[in-house]
Amino acid sequence: AIWNWILSADFGVLNFILKESGIISGNIFWRSDPHYSLYAVIIANVWLGTSFNMILLSVGLAGIPAGLFEAAELDGANVWQRFWTITLPMMRSTIGAIISLGLIFTLQQFDLFAAITSGGPNNSSNVTQYWAWDLSFRQYDFAKGATISVIMIVF
């Protein structure tokens, strides 16, 4: 409901902010324009996942021993060199976990598509999860819906 309000064309917060900052001149129909509907759901999905990803990144950064940074600083390494030679390699497994979990969570997103765009307009934001649900529970073609779901599980 909050994202429907944020993305509303008439009184939405996103359109208000974009108009006040001079980025757009007229309202953008985020949920009903085929060019913008998928972007609207992507924005909401990124917003929902950001806090979880930040927690994982914080935990990964806390696991890097401070002595490594101190030793590199004593050796004369600048901030970028410390980032590329210490931080990034030590965060590789954390970043891999974030990417894997983000992919899994994104592939499971059904509720955002159902609540914001319902796969429309004109199937512009129809994804496999919503398509499987639509085949099964709107068109009553359970075999095709189950087939798509099983393929998504294998993927």
Terminal alpha carbon distance of the chain: 31
Whether residue 71 is predicted with pLDDT greater than 90 in this model: the reply is yes
Domain identity same for 52 and 127: yes
Domain identity same for 15 and 87: no
- 92-125 per-position pLDDT tens digit: 999 999 999 999 888 888 888 888 888 878 888 8
Domain identity same for 78 and 46: yes
Predicted confidence at residue 133, as pLDDT, reads: 92
Burial class (CB in 10 A: 0-12, 13-18, 19+), 118: middle
Predicted confidence at residue 73, as pLDDT, reads: 94
Total number of domains constituting the chain: 2
Domain identity same for 40 and 114: yes
Domain identity same for 19 and 51: no
Question: For residue 38, what are its two tokens?
Answer: 């998928």
- 32-62 per-position pLDDT tens digit: 899 999 899 999 999 999 999 999 999 999 9
Q: What's the rounded Cα separation, in Å, for the pair 31 and 39? A: 9
> 14 is in which domain, residue-wise?
1-30
